[in-house]
Amino acid sequence: MSTTDLSGVRYQARPRLGIITGSGPEAGMDMWAKLLVENRRRLGPAFRGDIDAPAVRLVSEPELGLSMELEKTEEQVWQALRDAIYALDGQVAAFAIACNTLNLFSERILDLQLQSEFVSFQGVLEHWIHRSGTRQLCLLGGRQVSALGSWSPYRHLPQVVACEAVPDAEALHQLIYDIKAHGAGYPGLKARFEALLAQIEAGTVLLACTELPLLTSLNTDKALVDVTQLVAQALLDRSGVIATEN
């Protein structure tokens, strides 16, 4: 049988994964793409193509885009998020929300007593910090997220690691809005992000916003850690494809 003929190959289903997106929708596409790349990397020579890709169910809800002003839209966003979660519950083994801000609702989500496992951004990040031995970092995200106050899913992070304040939080917030509105390829966005990174003293910078990793090939000496990548890796663990280094 030809190596390109899979008609005689036995398909073995793995636990299905879920992604909730909409803030913004590209963030869900980015997480899905990271899942595919990491899955191929882990399987290595054993990867046979499409039949070895992770099974993924995605729910995209545009109303979740109101999360950028969550202090004004909290209940509306929560209701939309809860409906999206219920649409996935029981249909997947584990799911994640492709938005750092929306992970603020982690405690409410756990209270829903779901059949499916919820993989939170903050849980995955704290595990990475302990495993990597990181002692100081700067977390970049939307206004609420990077402030590390009551509206941030990472408000407990300073108890775990030294956190440098964002040098220009308003400029960062506007940059994120502009990526959402114009796309990562819009002229000037990379230069604005590089200028902001140059003001940071910490060597490790967490990209705690699903839009920021879309700006690639940056000129910086910082170690940029994409939280979405960490979550994609944690999700893939739940599918049974475990990284050999874990």
Report all structural domains of the chain as residue ranges with CATH numbers, in order of start: 17-120+230-238 (3.40.50.1860), 123-226 (3.40.50.1860)
- Kindly state the tokens that stand for 115: 């059949």
Q: In the chain, what is the straight-line distance between the N-terminal and C-terminal CA atoms, in Å?
A: 35
Q: What's the mean pLDDT in 120-145?
A: 95
Does pLDDT of 211 surpass 90?
no
Does pLDDT of 1 surpass 50?
no
- Kindly state the tokens that stand for 197: 């990174």
pLDDT tens profile 166-189: 999 999 999 999 998 999 999 999
- State how far the Cα of 172 lies from the Cα of 200, in Å rounded to an integer: 12
- State how far the Cα of 123 lies from the Cα of 131, in Å rounded to an integer: 12
- Kindly state the tokens that stand for 60: 């995209």
Radius of gyration of the chain (CA): 18
CA distances (Å), 130 to each of 33, 97, 162, in order? 26, 22, 13
**Residue 244, pLDDT score:** 72
Confidence of residue 3 (pLDDT cuts 50, 70, 90): low
Q: Which of 26-30, 32-36, 86-90 has the lowest mean pLDDT?
A: 26-30
